[in-house]
Amino acid sequence: MEQSTLKMKCKYCGAVISLTDERCPYCGNINELAKEHIAEKKKYEKDLEETGSVVKKQSKASLEILVRAGILVTLILVFFLLIFLMIHIERDAYEGRHKEAIKNQDEITETMLEYWADGRYYEFYAYCDSYELTGWTAGPFLKYYPEMQTARCYMFINRHIAKYLAEDEIYKKNEELESVCGLLDEIYDMESYSYEARGVIDPEENERLLSQIYDSMDDVLQTYFGLHEEDFRERATMDEDEWQILIEDRLEEKG
């Protein structure tokens, strides 16, 4: 259906003409109202075009924001999903190693004790850790929890001693020595390490096994810091500060 055309009378000849006629088709005079109408129409069309352009830009910007928000939400969901899967997989692997350890309990225990008897405390700890036994405060291997923790501390002490010997800067040497003394306070505290497994350990076996690694620790301290046999008589009750004073005194004696 065609749009109707607005009509008007020519003010000069009275003929009926279209509002959009710039001149009267009958008398030829200029239609003043048509000029105003056309100008207003062009202004309206321009405003409409500009408004449409703004609306399109805003719609495009809104769409881009929505798309980016959607991508961001998707990435966050994927991230948390991956974390969930990793935790689930790690938990299954952790439990799987425990099940394997329980299944082969006699064989694993025998290997652990062989490492210990040979004084191979690093291998002992690594072997236990491979089955996730070092942090397992339940199950059939809990009776060896004191040995695992003592072996871990033994390794740390030896690492700090190695760093102490390798350092030339006095400040850093003192830092390493402080770390050694703090760990000595910990390693010789047999009761602290045995407390977690107090209901399942064999006290005599536990004391025998720990005495072995204590003797090894004594040898290390005698070798590198010049400690004497009698220095270890009160080792179970010495705190960090007492160890620090003792070692510094013996180092001074060594010159």
- Residue 221 falls inside a structural domain: yes
Where do the DSSP E strands lie in the chain? 7-9, 16-18
The predicted-structure confidence for 70-122, as pLDDT tens digits, reads as follows: 888 888 888 887 887 777 766 777 687 888 888 999 999 999 999 999 999 99
- Residues contacting 163, CB < 8 A, separation 6+: 172, 176
Which is more confident, 9 or 153?
153
Residue 158 domain flag: yes
Q: Under DSSP, is residue 31 helix (H, G, I), strand (E, B) or coil?
A: coil
Whether 239 maps to a domain, the answer reads yes
Token pair belonging to 234: 């009160």
Residue 120 or residue 36, greater confidence: 120
pLDDT at 133 over 80: yes
pTM for the model: 0.67
Q: How many domains does the chain have?
A: 1
In a domain, 46, yes or no: no
pLDDT at 6: 74
What pLDDT is attached to residue 172? 94
Residue 250, in any domain of the structure:
yes
- Over pLDDT 90: what percentage of the chain? 48
- pLDDT at residue 158, rounded to an integer: 97
pLDDT level of residue 4 (50, 70, 90 thresholds) = low
Domain hosting 144: range is 104-254
Distance (Å) of CA 64 to CA 57, 58, 59, 67, 75: 10, 10, 9, 5, 16
Residue 96 in any domain: the answer is no
Q: What is the dihedral of CA 221, 226, 230, 234, to 10 degrees?
A: -40
Q: Look at residue 61 and tell me if it is in a domain.
A: no
pLDDT (tens digit, 9 = 90+) per residue, 177-203? 999 999 999 999 888 878 888 888 888
In a domain, 108, yes or no: yes
Q: Is 96 exposed, middle or buried (0-12, 13-18, 19+ CB in 10 A)?
A: exposed
Tens digits of per-residue pLDDT, 190-249? 888 788 888 888 889 999 999 999 999 999 999 999 999 999 988 888 999 999 999 999
Mean pLDDT value of segment 121-140: 90
